[in-house]
Amino acid sequence: MKGAQDGPVLLIRSTLGSYVRAVPPDLEALLRAVPLRVTRPRLAVLGAVMERPHVDADTVTRVLRAEDPSAVSHQAVYDVLRVLTDAGLLRRIQPAGATARYEARVGDNHHHVVCRTCGAIDDVDCAVGAAPCLTAPDHGAGHGYVVDEAEVVFWGTCPACTAAETTTPTHTDPEGHR
């Protein structure tokens, strides 16, 4: 079967026979390459994360259940996310004070920017080059560590929240004082 834009797709069915989602066949190849057994929950979760970067487990569960209420259990989503992360198909990120998020952008050297207001997360390419893009000082590396990655999280306010802040009227008291 052909998808409207993506070429061939597989239609993954739940145990009750209703459609869970259309999955590009390359997801099967990704699972087999690591090597993992191809299962409906793995295809569904991997597809959901690929469609929604920086997604949390609750959102994956909600998306899959919206398509088919019997698609996967909450625990199955957590289990599949762990397996896919351990296999290197997904990356787990957890900025301070936030729930764990998952992304399919793996194997490259990128960081993240997090909105302090709404929690939105976006990718930030490394400006320096190959991993690790930062170099630990000699005294830090002198502890015997071989540094192979630098994880950087930038914090700020996203464009949507910045725009909302500038359009929100400031509070004034009855006498006109701010």
pLDDT > 70? residue 164: yes
Query: Token digits for 116?
Result: 């302090």
- pTM across the whole model: 0.72
Encode pLDDT of 57-111 as tens digits: 999 999 999 988 887 899 999 999 999 999 999 999 998 888 999 999 887 778 8
Q: Where do the domains of the chain lie, and which CATH numbers do they carry?
A: 2-93 (1.10.10.10), 108-167 (3.30.1490.190)
- Could you give the C-alpha distances from 178 to 164, 167, 170, in angstroms and in order? 19, 16, 7
The pLDDT, as a whole number, for residue 160 is 92
Rounded Cα–Cα distance for residues 4 and 126 (Å): 34
Encode pLDDT of 128-157 as tens digits: 666 566 666 665 556 777 777 777 888 999
| Cβ contacts of 90 within 8 Å, gap of 6 or more | 46, 49, 81, 84, 102, 103, 104, 106
Under 8 Å between Cβ of 45 and 81 = yes
